[in-house]
Amino acid sequence: MHAIKLNISWRVLLAFGLASLVLDVLSNPQTVLPLALAPWTPLPGLTLAFLLLYGLHYAPLLIGVTFLANMPIYGVPQDWLPALWAAGLLMLGLWGLAGLLLKVWRIDPHLGSQRDLTLLLMVAVAAAWLDASVHVFSRSPEAAPDAWAWMADLVNFWVGALIRILIIMPLVLVHAKVDWRGWRNWPIWDWSRARSGWTGGWNLTREILLQGIAIAVALWIIFGFKYTDEFKFFYLLFLPMIWIAMRHGIQGATIALAASHVGINMILGWQGSHAITVVEFQMLMLGLAVTMLFLGMTVTARRATEERLHQREAELNQAMRLASAGEMAQAIAHELNQPLSAVANYARASRSMLDDPARHGALLAETLEKIDREANRAGQVMRRLREFFRGGGLRSENFTLTELINESLSYVKRRGERQGIQFKLALDESLPSVMADRVQMGTVLHNLLSNAIEAHVSSPEPREIEISAKRVEGDMIKVCVTDNGAGISSEMEGRLFESFATSKAEGMGLGLAISRTLVQAHGGELWLVGSQPTRFCFTLPISGPKT
Amino acid sequence: MTEPIVTLVDDDEAVRDSLALLLNFRGYRTRPFASAEACLEAWRPDWRGCLLLDLRMGGMDGLALQQALLQRGSSLPIVFLTGHGDLAHARVALKSGAVDFLEKPYEEADLLKAVAEAIERDTREHATHSQVAEIATRIERLSERENQVMQLVVAGKPNREIAEDLGISPRTVEVFKARMMEKMQARSVPELVRMAMQADVLR
């Protein structure tokens, strides 16, 4: 038998308590029935999310946390025992449902697919019914005089609870992995970099602001006109929501749903709406929530597929590039071997001719001629090879190194992160663009990054790779790649840039040699700064190679 | 009987020419071809010596030529020449009976050793083959009686028993035996036994 070790973190409990408080404050007083058991019962959506994310064993603790969080507001209720029973019953149900999702259906708690979301929706319906039954059953008999009123209350509460679950649970699940402590580095604050696309920069911030305004405007049209029926224009809310879901996937959809839900609740609170309009609103809200969650999920899933495809393509490109390097090496070897073999054969024959020079004089002269011809042929192979790397094969274009570094990093980042390597970028944002061969510079960066990652294969934590780029004297840009991996032995250090010198089991030993040739062809230099930590730097003239 | 010749196949003119020159100076006769196809077309079953094949050639490559020659019943030993790193090919070639595999650039001594060994192997095999063929023709020339007598002599039986087995007089056995030994060109019974075994084992 294994000793069962339950991992309990006070941070999770604290987060749960705070979230419960916030949701309590935000929830619509219309939908929460004034009951004795309120302080005990955990919020079902939040509870489910926490059980899914942090483990089923948190269940009993969450009741305690709910009580502690609510006590300052509600005080200790008088009928505490039945209230505790009801809370326990509800928790037991939620615990079972979370177990069903995790153990039987094995969903990804961070919602990876449409299937996960569909199963979650089904569980939400059951959880809402549980919540509603516990609340409605435990009311005092005079709250609902007859069976019909009682049924109506149950359904009303059921739908209300379902909406709350559908808004809170996906919101928490989808955002649980967000690195909150790194909020300073989020792309939405990063206005200086003029990055294209939706992934970052001022464009993203502006878009999010516009989307927020669009929701506000939609809400104002729905509720602001005194002379229109309150929910006549509800469908207008779909427009900004679709926009958001299409652009930001499930993450955006959950946030926007929560924001509009809170907004509507506040408006309803001010206006003091009647119960009947609340039911109508609930149905609309339910439709909105389900539609947007699925739309958001579809967008996210499609984006993930696209990213995987892109990743696969990049890996394939890399493999092809390496394969062609290997093929090229073979072709070069063949091309050089032919004239060299011929020269050797001719020379050996010539030596024999010297045994009887009088007889073989003419033949010897002819053979020496042939040796000369073959030596020239070998020289030509070398010249062609040099032209391939130099001027001949160079296609200069204008680009920024920051861009290229980010691109090269994206090809290897996942491989590195699987090994637990942290990548640090120290890029001078004001770097001018350079004139250079983008593909060749990409090859150089890829070689340096690959070497840095492979240096970490058996190194202790923390594993770090830093890439820096800055402008240096003489209109050059200096790029350095530093790793704190295995380092370079002094024996290897002297032969680093020789062809076919390698310390790797499966290396050709061409990476650094080719990289240096490529950098030199651009009028720059590539060198080793230090071997522990290992730092390689190369320079590149801004104006491009001198012709 | 044709004399041993080194048959050279390389699509690189300089390599072919220099190799032929060198081998000529080392006392070998050569027969160069610029392509595997040309070599295959010219091939005759009575070629002796060995083949020196470049592994990589435009068109039909060395391995394909090896297979084609094997199919036509050639037993010429093959020495392959190759550029660097064709290990997989080398294995295939050696499995199909190549004698040697030289990686360019090769030492002259290695080349000469490989060629000499290949030719020696061919000569040896050819000699055995022709010896066996010779014995077979001699046996064919024996009459039925002489053949029977030979079988029994090889089986180690004395003349008296042979006479009993065949139902003839020992005197007649002596006559058949003498005629058979003459036709087989065997000077003694042990030599006859050796011939019979060689023909049997190697046929």
Model pLDDT, residue A505 = 54
Please report whether residue A265 resides in a domain.
no
How far out from the chain centre does Cα A133 lie? 41
Task: Say if B58 is an interface residue toward chain A (CB within 8 Å).
Answer: no
- Alpha-carbon gap: B24 to the closest alpha carbon of chain A (Å): 9
Mutate which of A335, A336, A345, A372 to test chain B, going by most B C-beta atoms within 10 A?
A345
In B68-80, which positions are buried (b, 16+ CB within 10 angstroms) versus exposed (e)? bbeeeebebbbbb
Rounded to an integer, what distance in angstroms lies between the CA atom of residue A424 and that of residue A466? 5
Q: What are the angstrom distances between the C-alpha of A114 and each of A52, A100, A242?
A: 17, 17, 17
Which ranges in A399-437 belong to alpha helices (H)?
401-418
- Alpha-carbon gap: A507 to the closest alpha carbon of chain B (Å): 15
For residue A362, count other CB atoms closer than 10 A to its CB.
Answer: 9
> Taking CA atoms, what residue in A is nearest to B12?
A338
- Alpha-carbon gap: B43 to the closest alpha carbon of chain A (Å): 26
Provide the 3-class DSSP secondary structure of residue B32.
strand
Model pLDDT, residue A501 = 62
What domains does chain B contain, in order, with CATH numbers?
5-125 (3.40.50.2300), 142-202 (1.10.10.10)
Model pLDDT, residue A388 = 62
Mutate which of A348, A363, A366, A373 to test chain B, going by most B C-beta atoms within 10 A?
A348
Beta-carbon separation of B12 and A338 below 8 A: yes
Task: Say if B105 is an interface residue toward chain A (CB within 8 Å).
Answer: yes
**Domain final residue, candidates A177, A207, A230:** A177
- Mean pLDDT value across chain A: 81
**Domain final residue, candidates A144, A177, A210:** A177
User: What values do phi and psi take at A216, rounded to 5?
Assistant: -60, -45
Of A330, A333, A345, the CB nearest to B22: A345
Are A17 and A9 a contacting pair, CB within 8 Å? no
Model pLDDT, residue A310 = 80
Rounded to an integer, what distance in angstroms lies between the CA atom of residue A133 and that of residue B185? 117
Q: Is the pLDDT of residue B202 over 50?
A: no
Domain of residue A479, CATH code = 3.30.565.10
What is the ipTM score, two decimals? 0.72
Q: Which residues of A touch B105 (CB under 8 A)?
A: 337, 340-341, 344
Contact partners, residue B169, CB within 8 Å, separation at least 6: B163
For residue A129, count other CB atoms closer than 10 A to its CB.
Answer: 17
Number of domains in chain A: 2
Rounded to an integer, what distance in angstroms lies between the CA atom of residue A474 and that of residue A542? 9
Greatest distance between any 2 Cα atoms in chain A = 134
Please report whether residue A29 resides in a domain.
yes
Of A81, A79, A74, give the one whose Cα is nearest residue A25: A74
Please report whether residue A516 resides in a domain.
yes
Q: Are strands A534-541 and A463-472 parallel, antiparallel or unpaired?
A: unpaired
Interface residues on A facing B, Cβ-Cβ cutoff 8 A: 330, 333-334, 337-346, 348-349, 352-353, 367, 370, 373-374, 377
Rounded to an integer, what distance in angstroms lies between the CA atom of residue A214 and that of residue B152? 115
Of A333, A353, A374, the CB nearest to B84: A333
Model pLDDT, residue A367 = 93
Are A333 and B83 a contacting pair, CB within 8 Å? yes
Mean pLDDT by runs of 10 across the 547 residues of chain A is 67 88 68 50 87 90 82 69 82 93 90 90 93 78 72 84 91 84 68 48 82 90 67 84 92 91 80 63 88 93 85 69 65 81 93 88 91 90 70 71 85 79 87 84 86 82 89 90 85 72 60 82 87 89 73
Of A340, A374, A377, the CB nearest to B105: A340
Amino acid in position B88:
A
> Taking CA atoms, what residue in A is nearest to B24?
A349
Rounded to an integer, what distance in angstroms lies between the CA atom of residue A85 and that of residue A93? 12
**Domain final residue, candidates A139, A160, A177:** A177
Please report whether residue A207 resides in a domain.
no
Of B148, B130, B149, B135, give the one whose Cα is nearest residue B197: B135
Mutate which of A330, A338, A350, A366 to test chain B, going by most B C-beta atoms within 10 A?
A338
Please report whether residue A170 resides in a domain.
yes
Q: Which residues of A touch B80 (CB under 8 A)?
A: none
Mutate which of B8, B12, B21 to test chain A, going by most A C-beta atoms within 10 A?
B21
Beta-carbon separation of A370 and B17 below 8 A: yes
Instruction: Give the position of tokens 């071809």.
Output: B33
CA atoms within 13 Å, Cβ hemisphere of A495? 10
Q: Which residues of A touch B104 (CB under 8 A)?
A: 337-338, 340-341
Please report whether residue A314 resides in a domain.
no
> Taking CA atoms, what residue in B is nearest to A370?
B14
Rounded to an integer, what distance in angstroms lies between the CA atom of residue A215 and that of residue A239? 9
Of B14, B19, B105, the CB nearest to A370: B14
pLDDT digits (tens, 9 = 90+) for B134-185: 888 888 888 888 888 988 888 888 989 999 998 899 899 999 999 999 998 8
- Spell out the long-range contacts of A328-336 with Cβ–Cβ below 8 A and sequence spacing 24 or more: A329/A508, A329/A510, A330/B83, A330/B84, A330/B85, A332/A381, A332/A385, A333/B83, A333/B84, A333/B85, A334/B56, A334/B83, A334/B84, A335/A381, A336/A378, A336/A381, A336/A382
Domain that holds residue A111: 10-177
Beta-carbon separation of A345 and B18 below 8 A: yes
Please report whether residue A499 resides in a domain.
yes
Model pLDDT, residue A34 = 44
Q: How many CB pairs under 8 A join A and B?
A: 62
Task: Say if B27 is an interface residue toward chain A (CB within 8 Å).
Answer: no
> Taking CA atoms, what residue in A is nearest to B22?
A349
Q: Which residues of A touch B83 (CB under 8 A)?
A: 330, 333-334, 337
Rounded to an integer, what distance in angstroms lies between the CA atom of residue A447 and that of residue A71? 61
Rg (CA), chain A: 35
Greater pLDDT, B203 or A250: A250
Which ranges in B28-143 belong to alpha helices (H)?
36-42, 62-71, 87-95, 108-141
Please report whether residue A25 resides in a domain.
yes
Are A101 and A110 a contacting pair, CB within 8 Å? no
